[in-house]
Amino acid sequence: MAATPHDACSVPRLLVSVRDAAEARLAAEAGADLVDAKDPEDGPLGALPPEHVSAILAAVAGRALTSAVAEPQAVAAMAGTGADYVKVAAGPLLREGGLADAASAARGRLVAVLFAEDGIPPGAVVAVAAAGCTGAMLDTRGKAGRRLTDLLGRAELTGFVAACREARLLCGLAGSLALSDIPTLTALGPDYLGFRGGLCFGSDRRGGLDPERVREAAERLRAPARSDAA
């Protein structure tokens, strides 16, 4: 699949993180555009075993795009599952110069994740693009209630999205997002908005996905597109 940013005038797509095949099936049926495989019990970028990711891809059955979190040393193995994108924490690889190797191991499907708690280092997006990544994403390391918008202001988020556009990278925003964040973040023009806890029962990311919340998120994201077409 050719991974290129979608039209900057279109609305963001819905990324839903799932932990198993049952959640993947639910997310795809409820309207997720991208089903993201990760372990919510293991921090913001907990990787599932490749065989679990393969089961998730089978459950999605082509109804949505897919991504999977990988440890840096396991990017090739995760890419081998056939996920459309592989996500990896960018910070250590940028500091140690290993991001290009990871991007090569993912065969043009690597999405580099930066954490909002660290700010957005000058030149980080340019470095991600230069390494051969296909996308960059902002997330939050901590999952104790502080959302992306609590850690980074509108100017910083706008600058990140613009830098991704300039570098022709897919751009994602995530980090303890709630449904109420959709209008504000949609206006910034990212390619994807990523959710987990905000779409779970009781807003508990370790709990199960609530299909009604997933549907509501999909509806809210698609409402601007319908309004523009009217």
The reply to whether 143 belongs to the active site is no
Catalytic, out of 13, 19, 25, 87: 87
Catalytic, out of 25, 38, 147, 196: 38
Tokens linked to 162: 């613009």
- Helix (H) or strand (E) holding 95, with range, is helix 90-96
Rounded CA separation 131/93 (Å): 10
- Helix (H) or strand (E) holding 76, with range, is helix 75-79
The reply to whether 87 belongs to the active site is yes
Tokens linked to 148: 């992306």
Rounded CA separation 47/38 (Å): 5
Instruction: Point out which residues pair with 18 in neighbouring strands.
Output: 37
What is the SS3 assignment for 38? coil
Q: Give residue 209's identity as a one-letter amino acid code.
A: L
Q: Are 75 and 102 in contact (CB under 8 A)?
A: yes
| Residues belonging to the active site | 38, 87
